Chains A and B, each alone.
Chain A
Amino acid sequence: MTIDFRRHRESRKKLRAAIRGGTLGLLDIGTSKIACLILKFAEGNRKSSRSEHLQDTKRLAYRVVGVATKKSRGIKSGEVVVADEVEKSIRSVVQQAQKMAATTIDDVLICFSGGSPVSKNLFGELKLETPIVETRDIGALLSKYDFGTASSKREILHAMPINFTLDDKTGLIDPCGLAGQTLGLDVNLMTVDQNALDNITQCFNRCQLGLAGAVFAPYASARSSLVEDELKLGSACVDMGSGSTGVSIFLNHQMVFGSTVKFGGEHITSDIMQAFKISFEEAERIKTLHGGVVITNLDDRDLIELSSGDKAEGVLNYDRPFVSRSELISVIRPRLEEILEEVDSQLDLGGFDHLPSKRIVFTGGGSQLPGFYELATDLFGSRVRIGRPMRIQGLPQALHGSQFSAIIGLAIEASYPQDEVWDFDMPFRAGATERFRLAVNWFKENW
């Protein structure tokens, strides 16, 4: 089945138009919080963003002019469960950010962590007609790939060219202008559940916002958290989110593997909630204020007072007014270990062991638990780092925490987008029936 990537190309067009227009909205719809940034692009680089390949441009100068974060509603492990509620939370967060920026946004770039993502590597080869590789050869090579997903219920989120090979050479970033006979290309194909993506898209459409692209959330967090060496030599970025934990493996500046674990901080909170029979909010409060991973002797005597919840409700009266910190940690730690074990299995799946530098960067809200570093080093060895996102211009200090790494990564991605398969012009490759079907479709859509 041929895939024409029309949807992706339209998103790209919107992204380009938004950058040219000067403002772009970024939205991270997480399980626990929803965040919106509004970027203002500098006047000078709008012209250059007209070029065909986004990567041709220099890194675009931008500044954050509007910020808003809210508790998210109607989202469960990165997917929409109550569309109406999601729409409302998008509306409120976008409105607040627009108010701060004193402008409006029409197109948004979002990051997406749900939809049970599957990462698949494709490889193809092409005998070159000319001795020198040209740009159209890449397109011709790409048109030979079978991007057709296993089931029609899957949607392609990313299809990134990650590694060019030319004859027996590998690890090439740009083969154009090099001499060779056989051009090979690895493509990392990231697919997600189509319904999950459509749900999100629908919510945005109902808020009069166009989708300028959806970015895999762990990929975005990695772009903001990994430093140059880590990107180059190979490392994993683990985004400890609330509903899910994202894993992405980078080598040679390219994401070679991406996955998610369906456990996150929310599960830790619900464990606490069940262990001490307290409300979810209270559990979240004691987790963030008093939580930890490593028990010390002092923690037995460190008693945490449980507030009786929302007094106006008058429902929750706890059996015990106090919980000791060691008890709390003993609830948190097993679940965290479980999550990290799941992450480890995903890393194994992604061939993490074969990377030259086996560094793991933890980011996201979950990595802020005190003692998390110790636990991670216990499990993964010494090449572990707690990452915080890079600084971007105009973002308040409070929003540079690791829980905002995904949305900051989105800003970086918007300013310097990764080339995707659909950024190359693929020669039309279709049989007679296919051509006829496309012509009929064209008529249907235009009349």
Chain B
Amino acid sequence: MIRSEYQHHNKTKGYSTPSKLRYRIERIWRRVWLRKLILWVLILIFFATSLTSGLLIFKNEFNFRGFKSTMEAFAFERPELSIIDLNIKGANPDLSNQIKAILQLSFPINPLKININYLQELINDVESVDFSKIRITKNGILEVVIRERIPVALHRDGKQLMLLDIDGRRIGEVFSRLDRQDLPLVVGQGANYRVKESLEIYKLASPIINRVRGMILVGERRWDIVLDGNLKIKLPEKGAKKAFSAFLESGEVMKILRQDFSAVDLRNRGKVIVRTKTTVIREEKI
């Protein structure tokens, strides 16, 4: 009671005092470091906003692309960094010319502008390339190391003559059988998937290799060996090699082959069935 009287008495002729909260806030606000911090933040915000808004407003006037390219030229296009030549290793001249044509690079070139992975893909897409490796050497040469695929057989598919490697992958096209007489010929759908098997049979056929013209895969099951004179040796589906070698080892081979048969059928085990020329049979029938 006394106290409230006192306060009332004093309030009428006193002065206003800052509240506790205001006093504390003002004390905090007067800290010099705080003011400096706020000043710097404001300056930073001001510059950031003015820069971004300026760029947004004048973006049409400002040649960004030209600016970018000049900056890039300044930063990256340095002679000590650029690639000056291409070196292809492990490829024959034809293939390396082909790769050079595919890559379409003009030197000197900035290494930042070429995409090594893309180049690698391009090279791997070339059919006769088995495996390739690209690197940039210290003295600025783009080095491509290549392992070529080796053709082992020819495959006739329709009118096309394809070169096949040992895995049956197509390497390239040959326009005439005469171009690669050294390679055996396989014919028929799916024959390219069984190159290995056909090569083994070819190897067995070495005693009569002069007469062999090619091999036909019949129905994607079994092989026919075609000799000149249109004579076919029909191999069984299973145990083809064994049957063929047994046939070759029998003394009858030369005898049979000298005859004018149209086919020698080895499909039945232990039996060799020969067929005469169909024309003769047809004549008999008629």
Contacts and interface: CB of A to CB of B under 8 A. Distances in A.
Nearest to A106: B27
A248 interface: no
Contacts of B18: 91-92, 95
A95 B6 CA distance: 24
B27 A104 contact: yes
Contact of B15 (A70, A74, A98, A208): A70
A94 B7 CA distance: 21
Interface string B6-28: 11001011111110100110110
B57 interface: no
A73 B14 contact: yes
B3 interface: yes
Contacts of A310: 12-13
A226 B203 CA distance: 132
Nearest to A82: B6
A208 B30 CA distance: 14
A281 B13 contact: yes
Interface residues of A, number: 22
A176 interface: no
Interface in A130-179: none
A94 B3 CA distance: 24
A102 interface: yes
B31 interface: yes
Nearest to B23: A91
A207 B14 contact: no
Nearest to A104: B30
Nearest to A313: B12
B37 interface: no
Nearest to B20: A91
B286 interface: no
Given A98-B30, A103-B30, A208-B24, A85 B13 contact: no
Contacts of B12: 310, 313
Contacts of A71: 14-15
Contacts, number: 43
B17 A208 contact: no
B11 to A, nearest CB: 10
B254 interface: no
Q: Dominant SS at the B interface?
A: helix
A94 B16 CA distance: 13
B17 A98 contact: no
B10 A73 contact: yes
Contacts of B3: 82
B219 to A, nearest CB: 97
A88 B17 contact: yes
B14 A95 contact: no
Contacts of A85: 6-7, 10
B17 A92 contact: yes
B27 A208 contact: yes
A92 B12 CA distance: 17
Interface in A353-392: none
B6 A91 contact: no
A180 B17 CA distance: 60
A95 B26 CA distance: 8
A89 interface: yes
Contacts of A92: 15-18
A85 B24 CA distance: 17
A73 B20 CA distance: 16
Interface string B21-60: 0011011001110000000000000000000000000000
Nearest to B14: A73
A183 to B, nearest CB: 48
Contacts of A94: 23
B17 to A, nearest CB: 4
B182 to A, nearest CB: 99
Nearest to B35: A102
Contacts of A98: 26-27, 30
Contacts of A313: 12
A104 B18 CA distance: 15
Contacts of A70: 15
A102 B6 CA distance: 34
A82 B8 CA distance: 13
A433 B276 CA distance: 136
A73 B12 CA distance: 12
Contacts of B17: 88-89, 91-92
Nearest to B6: A82
Interface in B126-149: none
A102 B10 CA distance: 30
Contacts of A103: 30, 32
A209 to B, nearest CB: 10
Interface in A59-103: 70-71, 73-74, 82, 85, 88-89, 91-92, 94-95, 98-99, 102-103
Interface in A204-223: 207-208
A88 B7 CA distance: 12
Nearest to A279: B13
Contacts of B16: 92
Most chain B CB within 10 A, of A99, A104, A310, is at A104
Interface in A300-324: 310, 313
A98 B10 CA distance: 25
B23 A207 contact: yes
B26 to A, nearest CB: 6
A73 B18 CA distance: 14
Contacts of B32: 103
B15 A95 contact: no
Contacts of B10: 73-74, 85
Contacts of B23: 91, 94-95, 207
16 contacts: A70-B15, A71-B14, A73-B10, A74-B10, A82-B6, A85-B7, A88-B17, A91-B18, A92-B15, A92-B17, A95-B26, A98-B26, A99-B26, A104-B30, A207-B23, A208-B27
Given A85-B7, A208-B24, 12 more contacts: A70-B15, A82-B7, A85-B6, A88-B17, A91-B18, A91-B20, A91-B23, A95-B18, A95-B26, A98-B26, A104-B27, A104-B30
Interface of A: 70-71, 73-74, 82, 85, 88-89, 91-92, 94-95, 98-99, 102-104, 207-208, 281, 310, 313
Interface of B: 3, 6-7, 10, 12-18, 20, 23-24, 26-27, 30-32
4 tightest A-B CB contacts, nearest first: A88-B17, A92-B17, A104-B30, A91-B23
